[in-house]
Each structure stands twice: as structure tokens, then as C-alpha cells.
Amino acid sequence: MLTALTLLSPCAAFAGAAEGRYISAQTQVTKWGQMPLCFTVRGQRLPEGVGPDSFTIEGEAAGWGAAATHPFSCGVREVVSEADGWRLYPERFPDKYFYVRSFTVSCAAYPELSFTMADIGETVTETADAFTLRESEDHRVRAWVYRPEATETLPVVVVFHGYGDTSNLLTYRTAVDWAEPARQAERPCIVIAPTIDDMSYINPGIRSRVFAQVLAWIDEMAAEGAADPERIYLMGNSFGGMSSIEMAEQFPERIAAVMALCPALNYSQTGMANLPKMKEVPLFIAQAENDETIPSSVGRQAAEALEKAGGNVTLKIFSDAEMEAAGAVHGQEQTYSFHHVELALLENDDYARWLFSFVNGSSRQ
């Protein structure tokens, strides 16, 4: 019985298997950030008896703000044979996929099945690939924009990323989640995710320039009948939470509601002091009790200040148990530390329901 590996081409030989195949990676932005769902191999058959235990995955990855790499290994969950090839489903990578610098999928029994990251011809990231990059005329402001096809005007969700998280569509789900098919079916909206490099992000003047440009883009879409200028929602985590609050302070008449996740107001010169300027804008603050990066006292202080000014503010402090249940691990050095309050927040649809319940400060409920 012939058990050797063969290509799908009738004249192909076993020795040419690795040369005639095409490999692609399918990834998805999960609550853990971009993760590979499967690797698809076309033009190569899978021998009988080959299963998940036949493969090993080892590689090198960097980390947030780190140039040095570290080794990692990952198991294989499933291997599926198909008419024109096969698919390999890895277990969850320990690192976000865009941090991975190299890896090798090895099969000791059939070396021809092995491949490396360099062999992958295409990486497809569903939903994130539906965003398009937009730049201002002077090229000083950039943002990823998701604009669904619609016949009616749609609300706009502006999502600011954290400091250093310039791969903002892939780092976490806060932006991409709004564009997911299930989310769009329930709450169709336009999504704008500005990308701000580190040196620009620390400059309050540049942040203000980003705010103004985002509103200019929204006004353009409103003039086209695509965007609803009365339903502009802001959301962000860490520096993004700070930026969401600052933008509402500078343009309170334009913003319907703000959701700030662990807002880094202790890094803003005016953010805390100017809170009364946005007292007409509903604000939801979410933070972990033992956030290792931004003390929960910052969120509490902001909530108290806005409440004292007569504002509409909701504060949610997640306990250690809630953060751990969401998959976070305490410790600033952890990839998914308690600073990642979005892990817990995005588990519940209530946050989206709250945000979309307002039209320029007035509740629709």
C-alpha cells in the first residue's frame, strides 16, 4: 500500500512536495490579540496516520516594547486532511502572532510536511483586513477605518490604543470587536482607530491635532450621509482612555459618550483638571482594582471629580477574581496583566449597550 506523501499534481513526485505547495496563515484578533487559527497547506497530501502528536511548533518571539526575542513552543490541536491539501490548527500561541519573529512546524515522521514562518505566502486576518488606512493630507495623522456598506447614517466609534500599541488592530480586540459581523448585525457602526507613535503620543498638542482630524473625517462622512454626527462614541485603554477623555473635554458638544478603560490621566497635564468641561458627556470608567500600571485610585479620583462637577459618570472596578476569571495574571511583567481590563470588560455586551444608549449626552433608553 502506498503511504508516501504525494502532491496533488498527477506528475508530481514525493521529493518535490515542499516545492509545489502553497501555505497560508489564517489569524483572528481574539481577546488575547492576534492569534493564528490555522495554517492551510495546498498542493500537498497528508499521509494516513498523521495527527496532532506528529507535529511540534517552536519559535522566537519578541514582546511589548522589547527588541530581544525569547523562545516559545506550542502544541497542535488538530490536523485535517482536505481534497486539495491539509490544515493544521495550533493551540493558542503564548505570544501575539505579530510579535512572532520566526517559527518552525516540524514533523519528524514526514519531514516534507514541515514548514517555517518564512514559507507562509499569505496571512489573512479576518475582520482586521476589512479596515483601510487613512492619512491626513499632511501625513501627520493616520487611522484605520472600518466603513460598512449601509443605506442609513451610522454611529461612529473612535477607539484610541494604549501607549506603544501602534499595531492597534492586532494588539487587542477593542477596535476590531466593533467591526465583527455579529457585532455589526446588532449595532452597525463606522469604526475609526487612530494610530499614534510613541513620541507623538506623549505630546498633548499632537493628541489635540489627532482629535481635530478625526472629527474632520467624521464631518466628511456625515456630509456624504454615512456618519451620524450626533452619535460619536469614544473608547480607549490606558493612554487611549486618557485620550478619549481629553477629546471629550476639548469637544464636549460633539461627543455622545465615552468609555475609558484604565485611563492614564496621571500622564495628562490637564485631563483631570478639565473633567468639568465634559460634565454633559456620559463617562464610563473601567479599571482593575489592582492594576499594576495605572493605579485604580486614578479612575476613582476621576469619577469623583466628574460626579462632584455634576457629570454623568459610571465607575466599574473589577476585582482580582474577576480579572483572573477573564484570563489575566497579576504582575506588570505578565503579557495579560491586570492592566488589561478589556479582557474582563469585553466579556459582557453591557458595555456596548451602555455606549450606544446615548445621543450627545441624552439617554435613548
Do residues 278 and 198 both lie within one domain? yes
Do residues 209 and 96 both lie within one domain? no
pLDDT for 361 beyond 80 = no
Average pLDDT of the segment spanning 143-158: 95
Average pLDDT of the segment spanning 78-94: 96
pLDDT of residue 150: 86
pLDDT of residue 289: 97
| 3/203: higher pLDDT | 203
pLDDT of residue 274: 97
- 170 sits in which H/E element: none
Do residues 137 and 112 both lie within one domain? no
Q: Kindly state the cell numbers that stand for 192.
A: 475609526
Q: Is residue 310 part of a domain?
A: yes
pLDDT of residue 330: 93
Do residues 180 and 268 both lie within one domain? yes
Per-residue pLDDT tens over the stretch 107-126: 999 999 999 999 999 999 99
Q: Is residue 73 part of a domain?
A: yes
Average pLDDT of the segment spanning 236-247: 98
Q: Kindly state the cell numbers that stand for 210.
A: 489627532
Residue 144, domain extent? 128-363
Q: Is residue 196 part of a domain?
A: yes
Q: Is residue 4 part of a domain?
A: no
Do residues 154 and 278 both lie within one domain? yes
**What percent of the chain is modeled with pLDDT above 70?**
93
- Cβ(60)–Cβ(36) below 8 Å: no
3-state secondary structure of 278: helix
CA 319 – CA 150 distance, rounded (Å) = 40
Q: In sequence order, what DSSP letters do the residues of 245-266 get, joined into one string?
A: HHHHHH-TTT-SEEEEES--GG
pLDDT of residue 166: 93
Split into its structural domains, the chain has a count of 2
Task: Look at the block and give the residue holding cell 473633567.
Answer: 275
CA 308 – CA 346 distance, rounded (Å) = 29
Residue 339 is which amino acid? H
Q: What is the 3-state secondary structure (H, E, C) of 119-162?
A: HEEEEEECCHHHCEEEECCCCCCEEEEECCCCCCCEEEEEEECC
Q: Is residue 146 part of a domain?
A: yes
Residue 19 is which amino acid? E
How far CA 142 is from CA of 135, 139, 239, 347, in Å, comes to: 4, 7, 17, 29
Do residues 32 and 138 both lie within one domain? no
- For the chain, the average pLDDT equals 92
| 18/358: higher pLDDT | 358
Q: How confident is the model at residue 4 (pLDDT cuts 50, 70, 90)?
A: very low
| 214/7: higher pLDDT | 214
3-state secondary structure of 173: coil
Q: Which of residues 90, 125, 160 is at a domain's end? A: 125
Domain of 49, CATH number, reads 2.60.40
Do residues 211 and 67 both lie within one domain? no
pLDDT for 256 beyond 60 = yes
Average pLDDT of the segment spanning 293-321: 97
Domain of 240, CATH number, reads 3.40.50.1820
pLDDT for 364 beyond 60 = no
Q: Which of residues 85, 102, 125 is at a domain's end? A: 125
pLDDT of residue 18: 60
Contacts of 229 (CB under 8 A, 6+ apart): 218, 219, 222, 254
pLDDT for 342 beyond 80 = yes
Per-residue pLDDT tens over the stretch 220-231: 999 999 999 999
Q: Is residue 2 part of a domain?
A: no
- Of 178, 202, 204, 358, the residue nearest 284 (C-alpha): 358
Q: Is residue 77 part of a domain?
A: yes
Q: Which of residues 101, 125, 149 is at a domain's end? A: 125
Q: Kindly state the cell numbers that stand for 249.
A: 473635554
Q: How confident is the model at residue 304 (pLDDT cuts 50, 70, 90)?
A: very high
pLDDT for 151 beyond 90 = no
Do residues 71 and 212 both lie within one domain? no
Q: Kindly state the cell numbers that stand for 30.
A: 481574539
Q: How confident is the model at residue 280 (pLDDT cuts 50, 70, 90)?
A: very high
Do residues 236 and 353 both lie within one domain? yes
Do residues 138 and 215 both lie within one domain? yes
**What percent of the chain is modeled with pLDDT above 90?**
87
pTM of structure = 0.91
pLDDT for 11 beyond 90 = no
To the nearest 5 percent, what fractions of the chain are helix, strand and coil?
A: 30, 35, 40
Per-residue pLDDT tens over the stretch 156-212: 999 999 999 999 999 999 999 999 999 999 999 999 999 999 999 999 999 999 999
Q: How many CB atoms lie within 10 A of CB 185?
A: 8
- Cβ(7)–Cβ(16) below 8 Å: yes
Do residues 232 and 318 both lie within one domain? yes
Contacts of 56 (CB under 8 A, 6+ apart): 73, 75, 76, 105, 106, 108
Contacts of 352 (CB under 8 A, 6+ apart): 183, 187
Do residues 156 and 111 both lie within one domain? no
